[in-house]
Amino acid sequence: MEQYAIKGGNPLVGEVEIGGAKNAALPILAASVMTDETVYIDNIPDVRDTKVLTKAMQNIGVMVKHDGRHRVVINASQIHDLVVEDDYIKKIRASYYLLGALLGKYKRAEVALPGGCDIGCRAIDQHIKGFKALGAEVWIEHGLIKTKAERLVGCNIYMDVVSVGATINVMMAASMAEGQTTIENAAKEPHVVDLANFLNSMGANIKGAGTDVIRIKGVKKFHGTEYTIIPDQIEAGTFMFAAAVTKGDVTVKNVIPKHLESISSKLLEIGCEIEEADDCLRVVSSKPLNHTHVKTLPYPGFPTDMQPQITVALALAGGTSIVTESIFENRFKYVDELTRMGANIKVEGNTAIINGVPRYTGASVSSPDLRAGAALVLAGLAAEGITVVDDIHYIERGYEDFHLKLQSLGAQIEIVNSERELQKFKLKIG
């Protein structure tokens, strides 16, 4: 089983190119089945989740061809099955985006109940509420969510919780419903806006994405398009925090600084310097880190997907910090692993009370999920000695060439496959 072997202590220095946003690529790939014409998508990250989704799309008859590592050509005119029951698809959350896309186009879909990271109860009641409001029947049978409709008719939908997934799914189905749909209390994340822009480029009529009221006028048919996915806010944020914890100087390139505001402002608060240009951000960490408080919130608040990374930084900051997780109730599972590296963190409910320590010491730790896994890598890069991170398949779900990009910044990190390879790594780095 592959592991990351890390020798900590090197400040990360240099520039790193940020890839396309995984959480925008997934709904955009799914939405590309909504037209029979050819769609070209650029800046697709080459990560496990996008591979699984494209494989599932191929299994129902969608032509997906790679044209280089980050560009795909998709044609969905030959779909022969509206049942998506791939073994792998259950493992990724975004499988359910095919539900909204196929329901919109064919008025019927059956998709395996989604999995994804185990970070708490991940209800789908708002997706179901939205589909039903549009006139669809929705039921769960034999591990599949099934939905069908005679017609989809536009309506007003108030989301009881701000949900990225439900906003996206309902937006897709409604974009091919008859008449106008209004989604109130919609999610405002950059990837919601990116999907709306993509759908509009195929002929949809969606206004207000990025605010909490999205207005959609249904259209009958979409056409082909060529589209480039936005940069990944969370990949960028992870490298920014890698700079912070290693006392480094890292420039993230090909980013949209506006999407990173909540992350940049927390880095400033804890004592880093930030320089901003059009499409890059430089983070310099030259002083001891300060404590702060942070609460995860829907965009434009601080993202829950950056919560483990900021906790890793705050555990090295002078004084007491408090991190409150308000989106998912089970997102502190990595804290036990961090404690094994010397962190002093007490979790009470959805709050972590962190008393900063001067340093981490290397240990063997396991990734409990995607973002926490990446955060443990950051801890390893900051730690004294050697850290081994297990279960890196979680990290590979969302980070392309993570170890190679870190190596290019001066990190000592390698993938090892056996005890022998680990020993070789230890001998090599001395």
Residues that bind ligand UD1 (CB under 6 A): 23, 26, 93-94, 121-127, 161, 163-166, 187, 303-305, 327-328
- Dihedral through CA 132, CA 136, CA 137, CA 139, nearest 10? -70
CB 357 to ligand UD1: min, Å: 27
Cα distance between residue 40 and residue 210, in whole Å: 24
CB 92 to ligand UD1: min, Å: 8
CB 235 to ligand UD1: min, Å: 12
CB 427 to ligand UD1: min, Å: 38
DSSP state of 327: S
Nearer to ligand UD1, 33 or 382 (CB): 33
Residue nearest to ligand UD1 (CB): 165
ω into 358 cis (within 30 of 0): no
Nearer to ligand UD1, 5 or 186 (CB): 186
- Find all residues with CB under 8 Å of 423, minimum gap 6, and list them: none
Cα distance between residue 291 and residue 322, in whole Å: 8
DSSP state of 346: E
CB 9 to ligand UD1: min, Å: 31
CB 167 to ligand UD1: min, Å: 8
Catalytic position from the list 117, 121, 272, 280:
117
Nearer to ligand UD1, 181 or 304 (CB): 304
Nearer to ligand UD1, 110 or 369 (CB): 369
Yes or no: say if 237 and 274 are a contact pair by the CB < 8 Å rule: no
Cα distance between residue 258 and residue 230, in whole Å: 12
Residue 277: strand pairing partners: none
| Residue 22: HSE in the Cβ half-sphere, 13 Å Cα cutoff | 23
Is residue 44 packed enough to be buried (19+ CB in 10 Å), middle (13-18) or exposed (0-12)? buried
Nearer to ligand UD1, 94 or 406 (CB): 94
φ, ψ of residue 13 in degrees (nearest 5)? -140, 135
Nearer to ligand UD1, 325 or 414 (CB): 325
Cα distance between residue 341 and residue 401, in whole Å: 25
| Strand order across the beta sheet in which 344-348 lies | 293-295, 320-324, 351-355, 344-348
Q: Mutual orientation of helices 190-201 and 164-174 as an angle, nearest 10°?
A: 10
CB 247 to ligand UD1: min, Å: 28
155: annotated active-site residue: no
Helix, strand or coil, per DSSP, at residue 388:
strand
Nearer to ligand UD1, 161 or 213 (CB): 161
Of 383, 290, 305, 295, nearest to 337 (Cα)?
A: 383
**Catalytic residue numbers, as ranges:** 117
